[in-house]
Amino acid sequence: MSIFRFKQFSIDQTGCAMKVNTDGVLLGALADAKHAESILDIGTGTGVIALMLAQRFATAQIDAVELDETAAQTALNNFQNSPFNSRLQIHTQSFQYYFKLHSDKKYDFIVSNPPFYIQSLQSPQAGKNMAKHADSDFFEQLIKFCAQQLLPCGKVWLILPLSTSALVKQLAIAQRLCVQQTISILSYPQSAPHRQILVLGFHQTETEEQRLIIYSEPKIYTDTYRSVLKDFLTIF
């Protein structure tokens, strides 16, 4: 059994292709919205992002969608064993099918740490393929459905590699979504960004650009990284 312990909950990662990782915990800690009463987590995996948001937003009802049945069962167990279980619901299906079943349901907050390797060499393990790989059609559908289900003042938060981020920015324009904020993630102060968090919404604003650096030097976390995750990770 593989357990990752947070300060207020634990994540059993057994059977999940994608384990708890930096991308997920950063999105869970940083994603924000003025009104966070209805939240959707697309591709929840172990459920870590949904649980972090449940900790942060004490009255929010959170739907979590996961296509992989094994991962969805793991997420369900993690939800049921958490202090937030009454506000979390798992849906074992594709996000496309979920949205078709719930076409009238709107959210003020949608988050996703989606599969992100596009047209690249795929892993021989089927679970990792599903968890890590997608094509451009996947992102076109993701942005289209997010735009349809988002409330007028809602926000979509995604964490992506830079090349995929560039594609998603173009897809967002077609759905009348604006890039309201970007957070570039760097390993070290002099590193090139390796991930970017995109914040999309319907209201046109000047894009706020930020950077988040993980390490000041090898094995030494920056104060910013520590501050962002201090309410969650037991090492801080």
Options 3.40.50.150, 3.30.470.20, 3.30.429.10, 1.20.1630.10; CATH of 3-229: 3.40.50.150
pLDDT average, residue stretch 218-235? 98
Please write the tens of the pLDDT for every residue from 195-224. 999 999 999 999 999 999 999 999 999 999
Please write the tens of the pLDDT for every residue from 131-142. 344 567 999 999
| pLDDT for position 170 | 95
| pLDDT for position 181 | 98
Neighbours of 219 (CB within 10 A): 6
Sheet containing 88-91: which strands, arranged edge to edge? 88-91, 61-65, 38-42, 107-112, 150-160, 195-201, 178-186, 208-213
- How is residue 206 written in tokens? 């000047």
Question: 43: left (phi > 0), else alpha (psi -120 to 50), else beta?
Answer: left
| Separation CA 47–CA 77 (nearest Å) | 9
Nearest to 198 by CA among 170, 144, 160: 160
Higher pLDDT, 146 or 19: 146
Q: Helix or strand or coil: residue 70?
A: helix
| pLDDT for position 121 | 38
Nearest to 75 by CA among 118, 13, 19: 13
